[in-house]
């Protein structure tokens, strides 16, 4: 689809128009360099920080918690499972300033969630305006995992920030095209086209075959590799990595009741926790820390690729940045590739 350009001053008006239709979310500054996803606050164009915000956009597709359904919970209530779908009138959502790794995470999570009606409904109701990366952070490694700083997978509209603050807009989907039905735009100049093309050519996708190399390795060779002991020694099983990871998607389901009304909810769970796999009998197939740490990395880098193709990691580096004991998935990946 044909790209368009919006000047900085016009971009603010464009965003105002979008706010009439959508609930708009963007990375919001908390303090210093700390950004989290939140509702677009003050008027004007938000500054999209380099790299990724602390929190991920999985919360918009896999909310914390998701109400699966509601039910009557008085003892003996005849219609306990005459269920009611939760009614929640929402405006469509627009995520403004999604980095390519995070946009791609939604595509990857959609694979296991293909038949999950809640996830897919949230996806339908969300439009993603992605901001392509010209610089990265020291913890970025999207090109190792099949992504690219200029990747557009999962986005509806891809944005490149031009030198003068104007935005180069490339619609990817019909939804993205719909965002451009205003008079704020002009055709890109030849120089602008050359600039964006130049960025693309600089991207190095040398590690694109990571997933196929991992797929070709023996399951039990990786599972029984000696380095898991060393990797897990430092781990304190805090689960930070799983909660910050855009492609960690495990959940628990629980019932909540209050005054005769109940709801079944699902919320984020973590394979780092011993209770995650504990049977009612007390038996625990992943009772050891080593097994849990190994499961997290093996799931992302072997089990998921074996099942779906790509690795379940987008190289955003959040787990590297915030692990309290400095476990680095890049080192684990490198060691797995050596097996």
Distance (Å, rounded) from C-alpha 129 to C-alpha 133? 13
C-alpha to C-alpha distance for 303 and 24, rounded to whole angstroms: 35
Phi first, then psi: give them for residue 56, nearest 5 degrees.
-105, 170
Q: Give the distance, in angstroms, between the CA of residue 319 and the centroid of all CA atoms in the same chain.
A: 13
CA distance 314 to 334: 15
Q: How far is the CB of 171 from another protein (least distance, A)?
A: 30
Residue 237 lies near another protein (rule: CB under 8 A) = no
Task: Kindly state the tokens that stand for 265.
Answer: 């909810």
Q: Is 219 in the site for another protein (CB under 8 A)?
A: yes
- Sheet holding 251-258: strands in order across? 66-72, 261-268, 251-258
Q: Is 12 in the site for another protein (CB under 8 A)?
A: no
Q: Which of 20, 43, 197, 279 binds another protein (CB under 8 A)?
A: 279
**Within a 10 A sphere around the Cβ of 233, how many other Cβ atoms?**
12
From CA 286, how far away is CA 283, in angstroms rounded? 9
Task: Rule CB under 8 A: choose which of 269, 301, 317, 319 binds another protein.
Answer: 269
Question: Smallest distance, Å, CB 262 to another protein?
Answer: 5
d(CA 146, CA 149) in angstroms, rounded, equals: 11
Toward another protein, which CB reaches closer, 141 or 268?
268
Cβ-based nearer residue to another protein, 128 or 298: 298
Q: Rounded to the nearest whole angstrom, what is the least distance from the CB of residue 6 to another protein in the complex?
A: 38
Which residue lies nearer to another protein by CB, 111 or 177?
111
Indicate whether 276 belongs to the interface with another protein (CB under 8 A): yes
Environment class of 230 (CB within 10 Å of its CB; exposed 0-12, middle 13-18, buried 19+): exposed
Identified binder of another protein from the candidate list 91, 186, 213, 307, rule CB under 8 A: 307
Residues 133 and 155: their CA atoms lie apart, in Å, by 13
For residue 251, list its beta bridge partners: 268
229 SS3 class: helix
Q: How many residues bind another protein (CB under 8 A)?
A: 53
* Nearest-10 crossing angle of helices 100-110, 117-124: 140
**For another protein, which is the closer residue by CB, 299 or 318?**
299
Cβ atoms of 145 and 330 within 8 Å: the answer is no
Beta strands at 23-31 and 93-98: parallel, antiparallel or unpaired? parallel
Count of Cβ atoms closer than 10 Å to residue 118 Cβ: 16
Contact positions with another protein (CB under 8 A) in 71-100: 71-73, 76-85
Q: Which is nearer to another protein, 33 or 255 (CB)?
A: 255
**Closer to another protein by Cβ: residue 148 or 295:** 295
Query: Locate tokens 């694109």: which residue?
Result: 208
Among 54, 264, 330, 335, binds another protein (CB under 8 A): 264
Closer Cβ to another protein, 138 or 281, answer by number: 281
What is the footprint of another protein within residues 108-147 (CB under 8 A)?
A: 112-113, 115-118
Q: Which of 17, 36, 41, 69 binds another protein (CB under 8 A)?
A: 69
Q: How far is the CB of 62 from another protein (least distance, A)?
A: 10
User: According to the binding rule CB under 8 A, does residue 259 interact with another protein?
Assistant: no
Which CB, 73 or 203, lies closer to another protein?
73
Q: Which residues of the chain form contacts with another protein (CB under 8 A)?
A: 68-69, 71-73, 76-85, 112-113, 115-118, 219-220, 223, 249-255, 257, 262, 264, 266, 269, 271, 276-281, 285-286, 291, 295, 298-299, 302-303, 306-307
């Amino acid at each position: 689809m044909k790209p368009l350009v919006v000047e900085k001053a016009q971009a603010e008006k464009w965003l105002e128009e979008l706010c009439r239709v959508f609930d708009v979310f963007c990375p919001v500054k908390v303090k210093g360099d700390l950004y989290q996803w939140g509702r677009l606050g003050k008027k004007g164009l938000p500054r999209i920080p380099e790299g990724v915000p602390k929190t991920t956009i999985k919360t918009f597709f896999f909310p914390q918690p998701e109400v699966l359904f509601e039910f009557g919970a008085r003892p003996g209530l005849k219609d306990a499972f005459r269920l009611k779908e939760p009614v929640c009138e929402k405006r469509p959502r627009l995520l403004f300033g999604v980095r390519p790794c995070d946009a791609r995470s939604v595509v990857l999570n959609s694979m296991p969630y293909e038949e999950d009606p809640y996830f897919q409904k949230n996806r339908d109701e969300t439009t993603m305006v992605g901001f392509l990366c010209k610089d990265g952070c020291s913890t970025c490694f999207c090109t190792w995992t099949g992504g690219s700083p200029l990747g557009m997978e999962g986005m509806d509209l891809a944005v490149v920030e031009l030198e003068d603050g104007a935005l180069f807009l490339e619609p990817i989907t019909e939804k993205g095209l719909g965002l451009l039905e205003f008079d704020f735009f002009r055709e890109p100049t030849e120089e602008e086209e050359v600039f964006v093309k130049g960025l693309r050519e600089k991207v190095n996708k040398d590690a694109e075959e990571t997933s196929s190399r991992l797929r070709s390795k023996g399951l039990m060779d990786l599972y029984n590799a000696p380095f898991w002991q060393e990797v897990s020694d430092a781990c304190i099983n805090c689960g930070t990595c799983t909660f910050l990871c855009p492609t960690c998607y495990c959940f628990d389901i629980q019932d909540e009741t209050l005054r005769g009304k109940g709801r079944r909810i699902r919320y984020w769970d973590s394979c780092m926790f011993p209770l995650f796999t504990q049977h009612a009998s007390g038996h625990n197939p992943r009772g050891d820390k080593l097994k849990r740490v190994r499961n997290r990395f093996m799931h992302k880098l072997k089990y998921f690729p074996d099942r779906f193709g790509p690795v379940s990691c987008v190289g955003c580096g959040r787990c590297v940045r915030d692990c309290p004991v400095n476990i680095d998935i890049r080192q684990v990946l490198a060691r797995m590739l050596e097996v």
